[in-house]
Chains A and B, each alone.
Chain A
Amino acid sequence: MSSGTQAKDLVDDGEYKWGFVTDIESDVAPAGLSEDIIRFISAKKNEPEFMLEWRLKAFRAWLKMAAEEGEPDWAHVKFTPIDYQAISYYAAPKKKDGPKSLDEVDPELLATFEKLGIPLAERAILAGVAVDAVFDSVSVATTFKEKLAEVGVIFCSFSDAVQHHPELVRKYLGSVVPVADNFFAALNSAVFTDGSFCYIPPGVRCPMELSTYFRINTANTGQFERTLIVADEGAYVSYLEGCTAPKRDENQLHAAVVELVAHERAQIKYSTVQNWYPGDKEGRGGIYNFVTKRGKCAGAHSKISWTQVETGSSITWKYPSVILQGDDSVGEFYSVAVTNNHQQADTGTKMLHIGKNTSSTIVSKGISAGQGQNSYRGLVYVAPGAEGARNYSQCDSLLIGDKCGAHTFPYIDVRNPTSQVEHEASTSRIGEDQIFYCRQRGLTQEDAVSLIVNGFCKQVFRELPMEFAVEAQKLLSVTLEGAVG
Chain B
Amino acid sequence: MLLRIHDLHAEIDGKPILRGIDLEVGAGEVHAVMGPNGSGKSTLAQLLAGREVYTVTRGEVTFDGKNLLEMPADLRAREGLFLSFQYPIELPGIANSYFLKAAVNAVRRHRGLSELDAVDFLVAARAKMKLVGLREDFLHRSVNEGFSGGEKKRNEIFQMAMLEPRLAILDETDSGLDVDALRTVAEGVNSLRSPDRAIVVITHYQRLLDYIVPDKTHVLAGGRIVRSGGAELAREVEERGYGWITGATESSDGMPVAAA
**Residues of A bordering B, CB below 8 Å:** 431, 433-434, 436-445, 447, 451-452, 454-459
A439 contacts B91, C-beta separation under 8 Å = no
**Hey, which chain A residues are within 8 Å of B102, CB to CB?**
443, 447, 451
A451 contacts B94, C-beta separation under 8 Å = yes
- Mind listing 13 A-B residue pairs with CB under 8 Å? A436-B50, A437-B88, A437-B91, A438-B103, A439-B50, A439-B72, A441-B103, A442-B74, A442-B77, A442-B78, A442-B106, A447-B102, A451-B94
A455 contacts B94, C-beta separation under 8 Å = yes
**Residues of B bordering A, CB below 8 Å:** 49-51, 72-74, 76-78, 82-83, 85, 88-94, 98-100, 102-103, 106-107, 110, 142, 159, 163
**Hey, which chain A residues are within 8 Å of B159, CB to CB?**
441
User: Chain A interface mostly helix, strand, loop or mixed?
Assistant: helix
**Hey, which chain A residues are within 8 Å of B92, CB to CB?**
455-456
A440–B82 alpha-carbon span in the complex (Å): 7
With known contacts A441-B103, A444-B74, A434–B83 Cβ distance under 8 A: no
B99 contacts A441, C-beta separation under 8 Å = yes
B91 contacts A452, C-beta separation under 8 Å = yes
**Hey, which chain A residues are within 8 Å of B107, CB to CB?**
442
B91 contacts A445, C-beta separation under 8 Å = no
Q: Knowing that A431-B89, A440-B74, A451-B94 touch, tell me 4 more A-B residue pairs with CB under 8 angstroms.
A: A441-B77, A443-B106, A451-B98, A456-B92
Which of B77, B93, B98 interacts with A440 by CB under 8 Å? B77
Residue in chain A with minimal CB distance to B52? A436
**Hey, which chain A residues are within 8 Å of B163, CB to CB?**
441-442
A451 contacts B91, C-beta separation under 8 Å = yes
B89 contacts A434, C-beta separation under 8 Å = yes
A439 contacts B74, C-beta separation under 8 Å = yes
With known contacts A433-B89, A434-B89, A447-B102, A440–B94 Cβ distance under 8 A: no
Residue in chain A with minimal CB distance to B109? A442
Cβ-closest 6 pairs across A and B: A455-B93, A455-B94, A441-B103, A442-B106, A437-B89, A442-B77
A440 contacts B78, C-beta separation under 8 Å = no
A439 contacts B89, C-beta separation under 8 Å = no
For the complex formed, measure the closest distance between the CB of B51 and the CB atoms of chain A, giving whole angstroms: 6
**Hey, which chain B residues are within 8 Å of A452, CB to CB?**
91, 94
A99–B220 alpha-carbon span in the complex (Å): 79
A68–B77 alpha-carbon span in the complex (Å): 63
**Hey, which chain A residues are within 8 Å of B72, CB to CB?**
439
Residue in chain B with minimal CB distance to A450? B102
With known contacts A443-B102, A443-B103, A456-B92, A437–B85 Cβ distance under 8 A: yes
Which of A439, A458, A459 interacts with B77 by CB under 8 Å? A439
Which of A440, A451, A454 interacts with B73 by CB under 8 Å? A440
**Hey, which chain A residues are within 8 Å of B76, CB to CB?**
440
Residue in chain A with minimal CB distance to B107? A442
**Hey, which chain B residues are within 8 Å of A437, CB to CB?**
85, 88-89, 91
For the complex formed, measure the closest distance between the CB of B236 and the CB atoms of chain A, giving whole angstroms: 33
**Hey, which chain B residues are within 8 Å of A458, CB to CB?**
93
Which of A431, A443, A451, A455 interacts with B74 by CB under 8 Å? A443
A457–B77 alpha-carbon span in the complex (Å): 27
A455 contacts B91, C-beta separation under 8 Å = yes
Residue in chain A with minimal CB distance to B94? A455
B83 contacts A438, C-beta separation under 8 Å = no
For the complex formed, measure the closest distance between the CB of B84 and the CB atoms of chain A, giving whole angstroms: 10
A290–B42 alpha-carbon span in the complex (Å): 52
A436–B73 alpha-carbon span in the complex (Å): 8
A456–B49 alpha-carbon span in the complex (Å): 26
A439 contacts B99, C-beta separation under 8 Å = no
Residue in chain B with minimal CB distance to A451? B94
For the complex formed, measure the closest distance between the CB of A324 and the CB atoms of chain B, giving whole angstroms: 29
For the complex formed, measure the closest distance between the CB of A439 and the CB atoms of chain B, giving whole angstroms: 4
A438–B78 alpha-carbon span in the complex (Å): 12
B106 contacts A451, C-beta separation under 8 Å = no
**Hey, which chain B residues are within 8 Å of A454, CB to CB?**
93-94
For the complex formed, measure the closest distance between the CB of A367 and the CB atoms of chain B, giving whole angstroms: 13
A442–B88 alpha-carbon span in the complex (Å): 15
For the complex formed, measure the closest distance between the CB of A204 and the CB atoms of chain B, giving whole angstroms: 36
- A442, A447, A452: which has the most chain B beta carbons within 10 Å? A442
A455–B107 alpha-carbon span in the complex (Å): 21
For the complex formed, measure the closest distance between the CB of A355 and the CB atoms of chain B, giving whole angstroms: 34
B93 contacts A439, C-beta separation under 8 Å = no
Which of A434, A436, A447 interacts with B51 by CB under 8 Å? A436
A431–B43 alpha-carbon span in the complex (Å): 19
**Hey, which chain A residues are within 8 Å of B106, CB to CB?**
441-444, 447
For the complex formed, measure the closest distance between the CB of B15 and the CB atoms of chain A, giving whole angstroms: 19
- B72, B73, B91, B102: which has the most chain A beta carbons within 10 Å? B73
A458–B74 alpha-carbon span in the complex (Å): 25
A456–B94 alpha-carbon span in the complex (Å): 8
For the complex formed, measure the closest distance between the CB of B64 and the CB atoms of chain A, giving whole angstroms: 16
